Structure 1
Amino acid sequence: MAQGHMLPTLDMAKLFAARGVKSTIITTPLNAPLFTKAIDKTQNSPNSNYIILKVVKFPAKEADLPDGLENLDLVSGPEVHRKFFHALTLLQHSAEDILAELRPHAFVADVFFTWATDLASKYEIPRLVFHGTSFISMCCMESVAKFKPYENVSSDSEPFVLPGLPGEIKMTRLQIPDYLRLGQENNLTKLMKSAEEAGRRSYGMVVNSFYELEPVYADHYRKVLGNKAWHIGPVSLCNKNASEKARRGKESAIDEHECLKWLDSKKPNSVIYICFGTNSSFSASQLQEIATGLEASGQNFIWVVRKAKEKDQEKENSEEEWLPEGYEKRVEGKGLIIRGWAPQVLILDHEAVGGFVTHCGWNSVLEGISAGLPMVTWPIFAEQFYNEKLITEVLRTGVGVGAQKWIRFVGDYVKSEQIERALKEIMIGERSGEMRSRAKEIKEMALRAVEEGGSSYTDLGNLIEELKSRQSKKV
C-alpha cells in the first residue's frame, strides 16, 4: 500500500501474465487507478494472458482514519502510521473472500501483510512473500538480528564487520535502524518481528533482483540461510516502450514530451538525475544545501522535489523557502526542477543522463542499474544503508555522499560541499569513466537476465512450473 511496493507488484503481475498465468491484483479504490491505466495497455499485448483487478473497500472508518487515506505516501505522524498498519490487518477479511472464490495456485502478498501466511494455509494455497528489497539487504538484516554486532563497539562511529556474510560488509552503529540500536520495542518492531515469523512459515519469497547482480548474496540467502527464493527481476524491465515507462506510477508533474525535449538538447552522459523516492521528507535547509551543491557542481541536472504533505502545503505554496533567491533564473537551461512525480524510468533511460543521485531505495537502485548509470548514494532509512554497500563496495559503480546516520524519513544532514564533491566524482572525476563502464556492463547483464534463457526468466519459469506441479499433485 505504498508506491514503492505497488509498482513492482504491478510489474510482477505483468510478468506472470506474459507467461500465460492469470493474475489477480487486490487493491483499494484510491490505489486502483495506478493499476488500471497499465492493465489496459497490457490487455492489448499479444503475448499476455490477462490481469484482473479486484477492488476492495479500505477499512478507514474501522481503523479511525479519514476517508481516502489508503496509501503510505499520505501518512504523516506516528499515530496515523500506527492506525494505517492496523487497517492493513483488517484487509484480511476481503482477501479471504477473494481466495475462497478464486482458489488460486498461489497467493503473493507484501511482507507487511503478516496475516497472509495463515490465510493461505487455511485454503491450502502457498503464500509467497514479496519484500521488495535486495538479497544483500536481507542477508545483512539476518546478520544484524542474529549477532547484534552493534552492541560490541565502543562508539557510534567505530566500524564493525557484519558476521557470517560473504565478503566484508562494514557498518557503524549509527547506520543501523534506530529501533535496533536503541533497543526500542514499539508497534513497528512488533510488526517487523511478526513479518519475519510469517515469512519463515511461508512457501518462499519472490525477489526483485537478478542472480548476476549479487550472486554470493543470492547463494548465501538460499543455500546457507536455507530460505526458499526466486529472483525474477529487474521487474521494471517488463516496461519496454516509452509509453509504458511514462505511465508507470502516478500522474507525472511534467509533460513527458517536454521532459524528453529538454533532455534531447543535452549531450550524452551530461545530465545528473536527483530523486529521493516517495517517502523521504527533507527540511527546507537540506533542500537549500542540495540546490547550492548542484549549482556549484556545474553539472546539468534534473531534480525531483517531492511535494509537501497536506499540512505543509499551504506554507509551501505561499513561499518556496527551500530555493535560494533567483535560483531558477540562474540555472535556466542547465537545471530542470520537477515538483511532484516524475517519469523516472523514462528519464534514467535517456542517453543524456549520465548519473543518478539516489536514496538507495531498492526500486530506484534497480532502475539505475538497468539504465547503466553510476550513482551517488544518499541512504536515509529502512534497508538503504545495506543497498549503498552493494553499489559503492561490491559493484563499485557509485560513491557515497557522506550520509552517516539512519533517521526515518529525513535522513542525515548533508552539506552542499559533500554534494558538490560526489556529483563531480561520478560525472567528471578520475574514476567516472571506470564506474560508467562497469555500470554499462551490469546493465547488459540485467537485460540478459530477463530475456528468454536468462537467469530471472528461467527462475520465474521454475516457480510457475513448481506451483503448477504442486496443484496437479493435489488433484
Structure 2
Amino acid sequence: MAHGHMIPTVDMARLFARRGVKATIVSTPLNAPLCSKTIERDRQLGLDISIHIIKFPSAEAGLPEGCENLSSIPSPDMLPNFLKAIGMLQQPLEQLLEECHPSCLVADMLFPWATEAANKLRIPRLFFNGTGGFMTHCGWNSTLEGVTAGVPMVTWPLGAEQFCNKKLITDVLKIGIGVGAQEWSRYEKKIIVRKEDIEKAIIQLMVGEEAEEIRNRARVLKEMARRATKEGGSSYSDLTAFLEEL
C-alpha cells in the first residue's frame, strides 16, 4: 500500500523462504507487480514463495479505480477513503487465513486490524518496531519526542539552541551520535556535512557494542519519561503545581 512499507515486508518474506519456510505475500492487483519480478527470481531458485492477490475495494471506498497505493491518491482529502479501503480488506484476508491456516502472520502498521484477524483464528502475529533511530535537528520538541520514543538519535543541529540540545543528547545523555555539524546554516547552499560523515554516524548508531549501549540508555530514559508523566511522577506533579499556582 506504500513503497516504504512494502519493501521490508517483502524482504522479511524472502528471508523466511530462504530458511525453508513457505511464504505467501498478500497483495492487490496494482501493488503485486512492484515485487513480482523479485519473487519470480526467488521461485526460479527453488524458494517456496508466492504472491496471493486480493481485490482492493477502491470504488467501494469512494476512490478512483486503480487507486491502490498511497502514491496514487489524487489528493490528501482522499486519505480517509484510502484508510477505509484498507479496513475493508479485513474480511477477504480472514477468509484467506481460514483457507490457508498459516503458522504466522506478519502485518504492517497500516493494518492494525490484523491482530484481531489473527486472534480469531489463533494465528501468531509477528510485531516488530521498525524504527531503529531518529535523525533530528535537535529542536527541543524533537529531542523530547526522541527520548520518550526510546530510540537513539543521529543529531544534525541547524541553529538556535539546537547545538546545546545536541550536546545534551550526545555528551550528557549519550543516546545519540552527531554528524559533525559545527555551524549555523539553513538557507546557504554550501557543504556543511559530508555524506561520508552521515554514513559513519548511522553505522555507529546501528552496529556494534557502542550502538547497543546507546540503545540501552535510550530505553532506560524512555521508561523514566513514562514514569514522570504518571500520577505521582515529576512531570505530573509539576503540572499540578503550575495549575495550583494559577
Summarize the alignment of residues 391-406 of structure 1 with structure 2, pairs less than 5 Å apart: 394-396=175-177, 398=179
Partner in structure 2 of residue 29 of structure 1: 29
Instruction: Tell me by how many angstroms 1:32 deviates.
Output: 0.7
Query: How far apart, in 1, do the equivalents of 2:71 and 2:58 lie?
Result: 15
SS in 1 for 2:103: coil
Go from structure 1 to structure 2 and tell me whether the alpha carbon gap of 1:25 and 1:421 turns closer, same or farther (over 3 Å shift): same
Alpha-carbon shift at residue 106 of structure 1 (Å)? 1.1
Contact 1:110 1:130 in 2 (8 A): no
1-structure distance, mates of 2:201, 2:8: 25
Give secondary structure in 2 for the equivalent of 1:26: strand
The count of aligned residue pairs is 191
Determine the C-alpha separation between the residues in 2 that align with 1:5 and 1:32: 13
1:161 to partner: Cα distance:
6.3
2:25 alignment partner, SS class: strand
CA distance in 1, matches of 2:36, 2:182: 38
Listed one character per residue, the Cα deviations across residues 418-441 of structure 1 (whole Å, up to 9, x for unaligned) are: x5243xx3259xxx5xx7656566
Q: What is the aligned partner in structure 2 of residue 186 from structure 1?
A: none
State the TM-score, normalizing by the size of structure 2.
0.63
Counterpart AA for 2:3: Q
- What residue in structure 1 maps to residue 109 of structure 2? 111
**What is the CA–CA distance in structure 1 between the aligned matches of 2:129 and 2:98, rounded to whole Å?**
25
Match of 2:3 in 1: 3
Q: Give 2:83's match in structure 1, choosing from 82, 85, 92.
A: 85
Q: What CA distance in whole angstroms lies between the structure 2 residues aligned with 1:80 and 1:401?
A: 42
Whether the 8 Å contact between 2:177 and 2:205 is mirrored in structure 1 is no
Is the alpha carbon distance of 1:217 and 1:80 closer, same or farther for their aligned partners in structure 2, counting shifts above 3 Å? closer
User: What are the superposed Cα offsets for residues 103-123 of structure 1, whole Å, 9 maximum, x if unpaired?
Assistant: 111111111212211111111
Query: How far off its partner does 1:395 sit?
Result: 4.8
Instruction: Point out where structure 1 has 5 or more consecutive residues left out of the alignment.
Output: 138-156, 164-168, 172-215, 219-359, 366-374, 379-388, 403-413, 446-475
Does structure 1 conserve the Cα–Cα contact (< 8 Å) formed by 2:103 and 2:123? Answer: yes
Using the size of structure 1 for normalisation, the TM-score is 0.35
Asked if structure 2 preserves the Cα contact closer than 8 Å seen for 1:28 and 1:57, the reply is: yes
Match of 1:426 in 2: 194
Give SS of 2:78's match: helix
5 Å-filtered alignment, 1:306-455, equals 394-396=175-177, 398=179, 415-417=186-188, 420-422=190-192, 425-426=193-194, 432=197, 445=208
Amino acid at match of 2:25: I
Distance 2:30 2:57 in 1: 12
Aligned equivalent of 2:130: 132
Name the % identity. 36
User: Which is bigger in relative contact order (C-alpha 8 A, separation at least 6)?
Assistant: 1
Q: Is the 8 A contact 1:109 1:130 kept in 2?
A: no
When the two chains are superposed, the root-mean-square deviation of aligned CA atoms in Å is 4.0
- 1:458 is aligned to none
Matches within 5 A, 1:163-312: 217=151
Number of the residue aligned with 1:101: 99
| SS at 2:61 equivalent | coil
Once residues 161 and 80 of structure 1 are traced to their aligned partners in structure 2, the CA distance between those partners, rounded to angstroms, is 32
SS for the counterpart of 1:43 is helix
Deviations 1:148-183 (A, max 9, x none): xxxxxxxxx7669649xxxxx569xxxxxxxxxxxx
Aligned residue for 2:44? Answer: 44
Partner Cα distance (1:377, 1:37) in 2: 41
1:81, 1:160 → 2: CA distance? 26
**TM-aligned CA deviation for residue 133 of structure 1:** 2.5
Rounded Cα–Cα distance in structure 2 between residues aligned with 1:15 and 1:436 = 25
Matches within 5 A, 1:125-164: 125-129=123-127, 132-134=130-132, 136=133, 162=144
How far apart, CA to CA, are the structure 2 residues paired with 1:377 and 1:43?
A: 47
In our comparison, the structure showing a higher alpha carbon Rg is 2
* Correspondence for 1:355: none
Contact conserved, 1:60 with 1:66, CA < 8 A, in 2? yes
Report SS of the residue matched to 1:24. strand
1:170 and 1:120, CA in 2 relative to 1: closer, same or farther beyond 3 A?
A: closer
Give the AA of the match of 1:54: H
Q: How many Å separate the matches in 1 of 2:126 and 2:206?
A: 28
Give the Cα–Cα distance (whole angstroms) in 1 for the partners of residues 124 and 32 of structure 2: 25
Distance 2:15 2:182 in 1: 35
Deviation at 1:15, TM superposition (A): 0.6
| Distance in 1 (alpha carbons) for counterparts of 2:85 and 2:11 | 25
